[in-house]
Amino acid sequence: MPSFHDLLAHVPWRAAFDARSLARAQAYADERRVGLDSLGERQVLAHCRSSQERLYRQNILLMGDTVNATCTCPVAYNCKHCAAVLLHLESLAPPEEDARSAPPATPPQAGAPQPCLALGSHPHTYYDARSRRMLTQPQHRAGLSFRYGERQVHGPERRVGLQVSTLRRQPQAEQALRETLLGLGFRPALRQSGALPKDSAEMFELPGDADWQAFVQRDLPGLREAGWRIDIRPGFQFDLSTVENWYAHLDEAPQHDWFDLELGIIVEGRRISLLPVLLRLIRRYPELLAPAQLQRHPDDEPLRLQLDVTGVEGRPLQVALPFGRLKPVLATLGELYLREQIEGDALRLAAPDAARLAALDGLALDWQGGERQRDFARRLREFQARPVAAPEGLQANLRPYQLQGLRWMQTLRELKVGGILADDMGLGKTLQTLAHLLGEKQAGRLARPALVIVPTSLIPNWQDEAARFAPSLRVLSLHGPQRRKLLPRIDDHDLLLSTYALLPRDADVLAGRAFSVLVLDEAQYIKNPASKAFQAVVRLQAEQRLCLSGTPLENHLGELWSLFTFLMPGWLGDAKRFARDYRTPIERHGDALRLAHLNGRIRPFVLRRRKEQVASELPPKTEIVHWVELSDAQRDLYETVRLAMDRKIREEIDRKGLARSRIVILDALLKLRQVCCDLRLAEPGAATAARGNAEPAGKLGSLMRLLGEMLAEGRRVLLFSQFTSMLALIEEELQRRDIGYVLLTGSTRDRREPVERFQRGEVPVFLISLKAGGVGLNLTAADSVIHYDPWWNPAAENQATDRAYRIGQDKPVFVYKLIARGTVEEKIQALQRDKAALAASILEGKNEGDWQLRDEDIDALLAPLPRA
């Protein structure tokens, strides 16, 4: 019977290939890139490595005097790889002289054994006594047998009765083949397994999955080259196909508000989306999305995946993908974690999510479409490399980080997205914004004015800084009872100033206009979506929207949702969906994966710099807890109030639950805090007893002793309290001691006068209510800050401290917190750390723990005083 080699000699197969393909094929054959998988009379199955070391498989049939040659490469038919196989076959000796071809035609007794290796897997299910569960663990086996002609045997040769088998085996040759397997790391399998039929071969195994995968990828092709028959059984988990390339396809909506992303690989010449496969994987192993977990896998460690398509033999294709390529993919596609299913092979993302595509740039993907989204991601990622100079006419030298902020705002404007400048207080957010607006004017983009919304107390600050740093900007303040008369003059100005208090009244007029830039200063003022301020600002129209806030997140994630709903409406979904996808998992369950995903989405649109990062010229800041002992009268009243409020709160929680008892809890804490500050705040009848020449007791007395020491050292002091009534009591003591001071509260009409007096050094003490003086003041003449009464939002205290600790400060700053030992104030200080953890986890990408108020927190806040 003629062999394939004989028939090929009479077929003019070269006519099916062009000259260039034949030349490349000859080079492949000479470089020994071809391997034979099986050789029949008219069919050969082979494989060929390309110049890029990609492995393609060939199926060649001889049909009369023609050749039908197919390949898994993109060309698919009569390609250079098929020609290389045919050239390789022509170079071989006739089959009967080559042990790597078909079984020899001579009697089997004279031939060497041909090694046959069967590979199989089996899901072994067993009961685990430790976990008390049924577990499944895959078992893998390699079965070695030997083929002599038409007969296939395995194991050592045995006598049958008094007769000896007529098959003349070659034990030394068989043992050499066993040694080949042992040299590749195999060991005889001592336990039975369903991976291969019982008594079908000598069973071998490898230590672990990584060893099996390495064997299939590294050693198995060499065994085929050496003439081993390889029988891969259905379900063998390491029957891996070669990944020929990676691709990404982007399809953008006509209105540019969303795009579809398909990310996949090319196997056997076919495009296969990875997204459905990865979604199933993440559902089973959600920890794969956690950055810390991902980093534990070396980049060269492969992850085995079963694809949703079958190969030429009808088996599901499997591939091994290195973690080095999967890490940026999984980090970018955290959206998968939120999806119950994917429609088709693509993932639909909101337009701003294009910022996350930048992480895929290092993967050498074959990109198709989506030039706009990719450019968006690149420019947002590389904004720091953009050349930018301070605009002409700016009366300030911008520090490097301030120039970076200017670049960032300019980039956001070009990309038509909003952002939050979340620098620490004192780093010059107002100056950076004025530089941006001045640059917009010089570029001719302020044909429509810019509108800045500020707290009422900051109107003078913006007026002063605009006149100082950008005098060419024409500023109009829409403030005061005469503002209605100013509305017709809006178009004659570059910058309009309005307030959160007045905006709802003017919203109908302003909403009918389009502004060039809309800026919210101290943007946390719109953190409540039910507020009139929020409802008014979302009605306004602008080409660019910006938020300025050192504390965009004070209490909970809903505040962040409010800001981004103003900046990019709809991007984070509605409030209900945001609560389902982020607030509940993060705030109640400490879900690190959802937190990481939210961080990844918002990070490109939040620019956050801390003082210690960018203002190295600032002197040190020292925080000191100054412990205070309650007076005997305060202790008695504290316990009386505590017992009464504890009973009231417990009853309220029993009726409504903890979440709906907020008002009663806050009222109880308020009363206890007032007792800690001074008896007269909680019990007006105690006022008369406290008057006179007697030295005040409790915290007020401790404050006066501390102030006396400070003023004796020539210190300049800012003293903050949340209670204006407490500031009034402190005023009395300062007047009694003839200590000069100035006062700033919400009722102060002229804010400039007390600030200027303190800055000029006329008085050593500045009394400030936390709400009125927490923002918009530059008080670098101070070197000491006292917080008389704590509250559990540390952001408010930090803002107040930053009135002194800001750019321009050249003295070390000391911050004192007066805490009544053993009281609710001490418990509040501990809760402050949890609130700070929430802000850090979102704004700085840190992954902190749970911070919600819990039942045990209520127990701690209402705990009795320790015995004196």
Tally of domains in the chain: 5
CATH of the domain at 714: 3.40.50.300
Which of the residue ranges 464-478, 673-687, 773-787, 792-806 has the most confident prediction, judged by mean pLDDT? Answer: 464-478
Same domain? 59 vs 204: no
Same domain? 667 vs 738: yes
Does residue 301 lie within any of the structural domains?
A: yes
- For 122-173, how does the pLDDT look when each residue is reduced to its tens digit (9 = 90+)? 888 877 777 778 777 889 999 999 998 888 898 887 654 444 556 788 888 8
At residue 798, the pLDDT reads 76
Does residue 161 lie within any of the structural domains?
A: no
Same domain? 564 vs 474: yes
**Does the structure show a pLDDT above 90 at 371?**
no
Same domain? 438 vs 558: yes
The one-letter amino acid code at 767 reads L
Does residue 867 lie within any of the structural domains?
A: no
Q: Residue 195 — left, alpha, or beta (φ > 0 → left; ψ -120 to 50 → alpha)?
A: alpha
**Domain C-terminal end among 232, 258, 285:** 232
What token pair was written down for 303?
Answer: 């992850």
Same domain? 830 vs 694: yes
DSSP of 560-602: HHHHHHHHSTTTT--HHHHIIIIIIIIIIH--HHHHHHHHHHH
Does residue 828 lie within any of the structural domains?
A: yes
Q: How many Cβ atoms from other residues are within 10 Å of residue 481's Cβ?
A: 6
Does residue 163 lie within any of the structural domains?
A: no
- For 813-861, how does the pLDDT look when each residue is reduced to its tens digit (9 = 90+)? 788 889 888 888 888 777 766 655 555 555 454 444 334 556 777 777 7
Name which of 545, 599, 601 is nearest 568 in CA terms. 545
Name which of 354, 183, 172 is nearest 256 in CA terms. 354
Same domain? 436 vs 559: yes
Q: How many Cβ atoms from other residues are within 10 Å of residue 284's Cβ?
A: 7
What token pair was written down for 6?
Answer: 């004989």
DSSP of 671-699: HHHHHHH-HHHH-GGGHHHH-SSSPP-HH
Same domain? 416 vs 558: yes
| Phi, psi at 39, each rounded to 5° | -135, 115
Q: How many Cβ atoms from other residues are within 10 Å of residue 561's Cβ?
A: 22
Q: Could you tell me the pLDDT band of residue 286, with boundaries at 50, 70 and 90? A: confident
Lookup result for tokens 């990481």:
596
In a 3-state reduction of DSSP, which class is residue 235? Answer: coil
Does residue 447 lie within any of the structural domains?
A: yes
Give CA 251 to chain center in angstroms: 24
CB 121 within 8 A of CB 96: no
**Does the structure show a pLDDT above 80 at 602?**
yes
Section 491-512 average pLDDT: 89
Query: Rounded CA gap, 189 and 206, in Å?
Result: 9
Name which of 109, 110, 184, 181 is nearest 145 in CA terms. 181
What token pair was written down for 78?
Answer: 């009569």
Name which of 594, 682, 579 is nearest 637 in CA terms. 682
Same domain? 176 vs 309: no
Same domain? 394 vs 429: yes
Does residue 730 lie within any of the structural domains?
A: yes
Instruction: Name 820's bridge partners.
Output: 628
Instruction: Name 70's bridge partners.
Output: 59, 77
At residue 201, the pLDDT reads 92
**Does the structure show a pLDDT above 80 at 729?**
yes
Q: How many Cβ atoms from other residues are within 10 Å of residue 491's Cβ?
A: 10
pTM of the model: 0.60
At residue 203, the pLDDT reads 94
CB 330 within 8 A of CB 338: no
List the alpha helices (DSSP H) in 695-793. Answer: 698-712, 724-736, 752-759, 770-773
Lookup result for tokens 């028959």:
229
Cβ burial, residue 421 (10 Å; 0-12/13-18/19+): buried
Same domain? 328 vs 458: no
Same domain? 320 vs 428: no
What token pair was written down for 704?
Answer: 């006066």
Contact partners, residue 843, CB within 8 Å, separation at least 6:
422, 552, 553, 606, 608
**Domain C-terminal end among 64, 97, 130:** 97
The one-character DSSP state at 785 is E
Query: Rounded CA gap, 785 and 426, in Å?
Result: 15
What token pair was written down for 334?
Answer: 């955290």
Which of the residue ranges 478-487, 772-781, 790-799 has the most confident prediction, judged by mean pLDDT? Answer: 478-487
CB 249 within 8 A of CB 366: no
Name which of 274, 278, 245 is nearest 364 in CA terms. 245
Mean pLDDT, all residues of the chain: 81
| Phi, psi at 337, each rounded to 5° | -65, -25
Same domain? 337 vs 224: no
Section 796-816 average pLDDT: 75
- For 446-463, how does the pLDDT look when each residue is reduced to its tens digit (9 = 90+)? 889 999 999 887 787 788
Please calculate the CA angle 791-794-800 and round it to the nearest 5 degrees. 90
Does residue 165 lie within any of the structural domains?
A: no
Evaluated on CA atoms 301, 306, 311, 314, the torsion sign reads positive
In a 3-state reduction of DSSP, which class is residue 426? Answer: coil
Q: What is the extent of the structural domain holding 130? A: 108-155+170-232
Query: Rounded CA gap, 828 and 669, in Å?
Result: 10
Name which of 400, 401, 418, 399 is nearest 409 in CA terms. 418
CB 820 within 8 A of CB 679: no
At residue 109, the pLDDT reads 40
**Domain C-terminal end among 579, 614, 649:** 614
Query: Rounded CA gap, 123 and 823, in Å?
Result: 61
Query: Rounded CA gap, 331 and 596, in Å?
Result: 9
Section 14-18 average pLDDT: 80
Query: Rounded CA gap, 138 and 344, in Å?
Result: 31
Dmax over CA atoms of the chain, in Å, equals 126
**Does the structure show a pLDDT above 80 at 804?**
no
What token pair was written down for 283?
Answer: 């559902």
At residue 232, the pLDDT reads 87
CB 65 within 8 A of CB 12: yes
Name which of 77, 84, 90 is nearest 49 in CA terms. 84
At residue 620, the pLDDT reads 72
DSSP of 99-158: TTSSPPSS-GGGSPPEEEEEEEEEEEEEEETTTTEEEEEEEEEEEEEEEETTEEE-SS--
